[in-house]
Amino acid sequence: MAFGKGCHLHLIDGSAFIFRAYHALPPLTRKSDGLPIGAVSGFCNMLWKYIEDAKGSDAPTHAAVIFDKGSHTFRNDLYDLYKANREEMPEELRPQIPLTREATKAFNIACEELAGYEADDIIATLARQGREAGGRVTIISSDKDLMQLVGGGVEMFDAMKNRAIGVEEVEAKFGVPPEKVIDVQALAGDSVDNIPGAPGIGVKTAALLINEFGDLETLLARAGEIKQPKRRETLIEKAEQIRLSKQLVTLDDQTPIEFTLDDLEIREPNPEELMEFLNRMEFRTLTRRVAEKFGAEPPPAPEVSDVPASHDAQAQDIEQPPFNPDSYTCIRDAGELAKWLDEARAKGWVAVDTETTSLDEMQAELVGVSLCIEAGKAAYIPLGHTSGGDDLFGGSERVAGQMDLDEALKLLKPVLEDPAILKIGQNMKYDFKIFARHGIRVAPIDDTMLMSYAMFSGLHGHGMDALSDRYLNHQPIPIKELIGSGKNQITFDKVEVEKATRYAAEDADITLRLWQMFKPRLHREQVTTVYETLERPLVPVLADMEMAGVKVETAVLSRMSNAFAQKMAQLEDEIGQIAGQPFNVGSPKQLGEILFDTMGVEGGKKGKTGAYGTGADVLEDVTTMEDTNPQAAKLAARVLDWRQISKLKSTYTDALQTHVNPETGRVHTSYVISGANTGRLASTDPNLQNIPVRSEEGRRIREAFVAREGCKIVSLDYSQIELRILAHVADLPEMREAFKEGLDIHAATASEMFDVPLEQMTPEIRRQAKAINFGVIYGISGFGLARNLRIPRAEAQGFIDRYFERFPGIRRYMDATVEFAKEHKYVETLFGRRIHTPEITAKGPAAGFAKRAAINAPIQGAAADVIRRAMIRMPGEIMHLPAAMLLQVHDELIFEVADHAVDELIAVARRVMESAAEPAVKLSVPLIVDAGQGASWAEAH
């Protein structure tokens, strides 16, 4: 039938259907192979319901489901930031997209998409054609971007709310008739699609203006007449941006399509084809319903005996084979390896683990690789086992019966890089780096350590032994049994292949079993998004940073070390003389005895071990006793000096040099993703997150961190990110405004608290306000603040009371957070990260700790989430620049950049960092990033 008068065309927005199905449904997986299938299931059910509902007097005569194709459209050519805020498609959803196309075809509904155009443009084109042909058109969608099409026989239908959207509804939403919707959208912009619009003008104002002036061009031409100065200026200054926005929101109803409306005529589905598809997807209920409807016999359900427990909701109830080290295979030739890799291909996943000669990934030599396909079925590939002493004479020999390393890697590479095969590991960053050094970029990955971290942070550690014990009730073979411990420890290449097989294959076996258990549980714990957007994508990013390393000038450190040694010797001498006897200045015990027993300083406090406390705060108090005990005061002052230098020397100038990699001449730290409960990273071997900066002498250590020839070190750091997040989550209007105005936040707080005008602010008042601001982040207490500010406790309490009075949101936030923690036993960041607080119900001092930790975690955690998001986006954004991201220090990112690209790097990285919360969270406070550059970290900071 030719489309024309009396015909009714339904246009279904396929992408909206898919996303709704994905988010509305629990994460189903196909039983036979674990393929995520929830969105396809929901999509099919919606199509089926749609078909059933659409049979009536108002039935469509023609219908099509319209999809988006690819992500690059002509709009990206107009404006490169178009939809730049969009989150990546969830990993679980990606493989389901082609299946929804198949589903549409199986239902025998026309299925259309066009590269370079969004679904909305195709819908616009078809709607226009339908209207022009004199028929009726209904767009099944509630997307506001489609509302411009309404009118003249075209209407929309919100399938979710079961509600028609006609001219009236559009007017209610936009304040203008449909044909002027694009003018309003051009002004108002859209943060979701990153349409800039006119800053400061929302839908309400836009509608007002359009109604007053008639249309956008008239408005822009006569903008000078507008009374409000700010509005007038925006419209004049941003006219081009507004016109661009209009282009972006205007749907193209002239897309070149290769079919006609007549091709979209409704067709009955072919029962066999439809049932074949539904059955293949293993949708039992829907298959049965379709069979009933057509009076056909449902096809036999597919064989699901080989159920991977992982994907079953009752995973724990399914009997797993016991651990049996004798059952593991040792792969010694290419034929056997190929067989295992084929199994991995067939399954679509494989657990992988590497054995090496060192925990330092930059120096470790690959000794073997283990694989596991399913619980109990694991293998080890020995590749670099040696025998004999490798000591004085270097007489180590390669053990027989091993595959050649390169031959094995050649076979492994296509599997490890195959986008259709998931590589599962425990702490994958380690293995990722090992393989990367052999030219293999492992992807895609899952990491059981990070799954555990996302689900259980605050409850327990995430190491494999702990997880195996807790979740599999199995104690793995301790590594000590193979390599020993202490000074007799051997490297893994010296371990017998048979023993190594039992140990290494077991690790892969454990990892796979943990994965099977954790995968479905991620959804139940509601941390899938956290895992997929904040944990897992960090693995390759951090691996690259760590492998890049940072150049450290050992000569600079050596020089400083020598100077420190001299100064220390001098101080030790002096200290011995004051004390009347030489003693180990580095021994807090000896120092305490001399100070408090021999020299008679009053008020020494013993800790739980019976030793006097001699921390810096105690010694500082002693230095003030010039009148009562001048000798002790002098001694304490010298010890404080000695301690500072001793620390700098041992931890920084000396230890740091030992971490310079002989091959690269650079220092390669290792970040622990699951190191801190709050979501912060931890840096180890060496820790590059605590390089001195607060003291003048210490800061000079940073002069040794330099850029390579022709490059600069660039540092970008978030300004006051935790306070900004606090202002947002605790809803503190005064603080929010202060940030919006770009004020000195501590001065502004002081002004608010002590009624001192900003112009009359003194450093002392500001310092106190600063201490309180930080105190609030830490879960303030009168005692803690008093100690920090060295003021009487009552006075500190007075400050806090006043702070609560002036910023009532703070108390509300603190109370609400503690209440939440008590009820749920966890707290949550803005981005959904959960930090468990099991101690919150404890009695005694532990309760106080838990309370403060609960108050702090969402703030520290959200800040950590923000910088993680920035780091994850960064590589893609700076790809085109001669620059590398090297280090992260909680609120700071450090880059090494070619001289000529410094300015551009700063611009790009700043943009990424300042917008990192979006689009997941729209903060009510701007994020601001400060930048510095120079030849060294000292100059850049």
Residues from 687 through 746 that contact DNA (CB under 7 A): 687, 689-695, 698-699
Cα Rg for the chain, rounded, in angstroms? Answer: 33
Q: Which two tokens stand for residue 500?
A: 């190594």
The answer to whether residue 804 forms part of the interface with DNA (CB under 7 A) is no
The answer to whether residue 572 forms part of the interface with DNA (CB under 7 A) is no
Tell me, what amino acid is at 114?
Answer: L
Binders of DNA among 369-408, rule CB under 7 A?
Answer: none
Q: Which stretch binds DNA (CB under 7 A): 430-438, 558-566, 674-682, 749-757?
A: 674-682
Q: Would strands 349-356 and 422-425 be described as parallel, antiparallel, or unpaired? A: parallel
Nearer to DNA, 202 or 615 (CB): 615
Nearer to DNA, 149 or 618 (CB): 618
Q: How far apart are CA 530 and CA 833, in angstroms?
A: 6
The answer to whether residue 184 forms part of the interface with DNA (CB under 7 A) is no
Nearest distance from residue 278's CB to DNA, in Å?
48
The answer to whether residue 25 forms part of the interface with DNA (CB under 7 A) is no
x/- contact string, 892-921, with DNA (CB under 7 A)?
A: x-----------------------------
- In whole angstroms, what separates CA 332 from the centre of its chain? 40
Strand partners, 353: 370
Nearer to DNA, 62 or 851 (CB): 851
The answer to whether residue 494 forms part of the interface with DNA (CB under 7 A) is no
The answer to whether residue 554 forms part of the interface with DNA (CB under 7 A) is no
Nearer to DNA, 376 or 613 (CB): 613
Q: Which of 239, 640, 842, 908 binds DNA (CB under 7 A)?
A: 640
Nearer to DNA, 181 or 776 (CB): 776
Nearest distance from residue 353's CB to DNA, in Å?
22
Q: Which of 849, 882, 898, 919 binds DNA (CB under 7 A)?
A: 849
Q: How far apart are CA 3 and CA 872, in angstroms?
A: 50
Q: Which of 198, 249, 857, 885 binds DNA (CB under 7 A)?
A: 857
Which residues have a Cβ under 8 Å from the Cβ of 808 and sit 6 or more positions away? none
The answer to whether residue 675 forms part of the interface with DNA (CB under 7 A) is yes
Q: Which of 339, 401, 783, 798 binds DNA (CB under 7 A)?
A: 783
CA distances from 438 to 365, 411, 431, 433 (A): 10, 13, 11, 9
Q: How far apart are CA 888 and CA 890, in angstroms?
A: 6
Task: Give 3-state DSSP helix, strand, coil % of the chain, rounded to 5.
Answer: 50, 15, 35
Nearer to DNA, 170 or 780 (CB): 780
Binders of DNA among 581-610, rule CB under 7 A?
Answer: 584, 586-590, 592, 607-609
Q: Which stretch binds DNA (CB under 7 A): 38-46, 202-210, 331-339, 856-864?
A: 856-864
Nearer to DNA, 241 or 669 (CB): 669
Q: Which of 683, 749, 829, 936 binds DNA (CB under 7 A)?
A: 683
Binders of DNA among 101-120, rule CB under 7 A?
Answer: none
The answer to whether residue 774 forms part of the interface with DNA (CB under 7 A) is yes
Q: Which of 684, 737, 762, 922 binds DNA (CB under 7 A)?
A: 684
Q: How far apart are CA 679 and CA 681, in angstroms?
A: 6
How many residues line the site for DNA (CB under 7 A)? 75
Nearer to DNA, 412 or 827 (CB): 827
Nearer to DNA, 373 or 595 (CB): 595
CA distances from 622 to 401, 589, 614, 787 (A): 69, 16, 10, 16
Residue count of the chain, please give it. 941
- Answer for the pair 355, 368: CB distance below 8 angstroms, yes or no: yes
Q: Which two tokens stand for residue 172?
A: 């209610």
x/- contact string, 865-894, with DNA (CB under 7 A)?
A: ------------------------xxxx--
Nearer to DNA, 54 or 611 (CB): 611
77: enclosing H helix or E strand = helix 74-78
Instruction: Identify the three-state secondary structure at position 67.
Output: coil
450: enclosing H helix or E strand = helix 448-456
The answer to whether residue 644 forms part of the interface with DNA (CB under 7 A) is yes
Provide the strand spans (E) within 645-775. 666-667, 670-672, 682-684, 705-706, 711-718
What is the DSSP secondary structure assignment for residue 622, as one 8-state letter? H
Nearest distance from residue 431's CB to DNA, in Å?
20
233: enclosing H helix or E strand = helix 229-237
Nearest distance from residue 563's CB to DNA, in Å?
16
Binders of DNA among 143-182, rule CB under 7 A?
Answer: none
Nearest distance from residue 539's CB to DNA, in Å?
17
Q: Which two tokens stand for residue 32?
A: 């036979």
Q: How far apart are CA 400 and CA 402, in angstroms?
A: 6
Binders of DNA among 809-848, rule CB under 7 A?
Answer: 844-845, 848
Q: Which of 619, 870, 909, 929 binds DNA (CB under 7 A)?
A: 619
Q: Which two tokens stand for residue 339?
A: 């067989």
Half-sphere exposure of 637 (CA within 13 A, CB side): 12
The answer to whether residue 787 forms part of the interface with DNA (CB under 7 A) is yes
Nearest distance from residue 721's CB to DNA, in Å?
8
Nearer to DNA, 380 or 430 (CB): 430
Is the torsion defined by CA of 219, 222, 224, 225 positive or negative?
negative
The answer to whether residue 780 forms part of the interface with DNA (CB under 7 A) is yes
- Answer for the pair 785, 771: CB distance below 8 angstroms, yes or no: yes
Nearest distance from residue 543's CB to DNA, in Å?
18
Q: How far apart are CA 640 and CA 643, in angstroms?
A: 5
Which residues have a Cβ under 8 Å from the Cβ of 809 and sit 6 or more positions away? 730, 731, 732, 733
Q: Which of 648, 750, 821, 885 binds DNA (CB under 7 A)?
A: 648
Nearer to DNA, 499 or 790 (CB): 790
Instruction: Identify the three-state secondary structure at position 370.
Output: strand
Tokens 């971490």 belong to 659
Q: Which stretch binds DNA (CB under 7 A): 509-517, 555-563, 680-688, 747-755?
A: 680-688
721: enclosing H helix or E strand = helix 721-729
Nearer to DNA, 686 or 832 (CB): 686
Q: How far apart are CA 206 and CA 185, in angstroms?
A: 8
Nearest distance from residue 224's CB to DNA, in Å?
47
Q: Which of 650, 664, 762, 841 binds DNA (CB under 7 A)?
A: 650
Binders of DNA among 270-329, rule CB under 7 A?
Answer: none
Q: Which stretch binds DNA (CB under 7 A): 338-346, 361-369, 503-511, 677-685?
A: 677-685
Nearest distance from residue 557's CB to DNA, in Å?
13
Q: Which stretch binds DNA (CB under 7 A): 442-450, 527-535, 648-656, 704-712?
A: 648-656
Nearest distance from residue 154's CB to DNA, in Å?
54
Nearest distance from residue 706's CB to DNA, in Å?
18
Instruction: Identify the three-state secondary structure at position 190.
Output: strand
Is the torsion defined by CA of 661, 666, 672, 673 positive or negative?
negative
Other C-beta atoms within 10 Å of 845: how many? 8
Q: Which two tokens stand for residue 935?
A: 């030849």
Tokens 């903060």 belong to 923
Contacts 24+ apart (CB under 8 A), 849-852: 850/821, 851/779, 851/818, 851/821, 852/778, 852/779, 852/781
Nearer to DNA, 491 or 651 (CB): 651
Nearer to DNA, 11 or 765 (CB): 765
Q: How far apart are CA 936 and CA 322, in angstroms?
A: 56
Q: Which stretch binds DNA (CB under 7 A): 265-273, 565-573, 784-792, 871-879?
A: 784-792
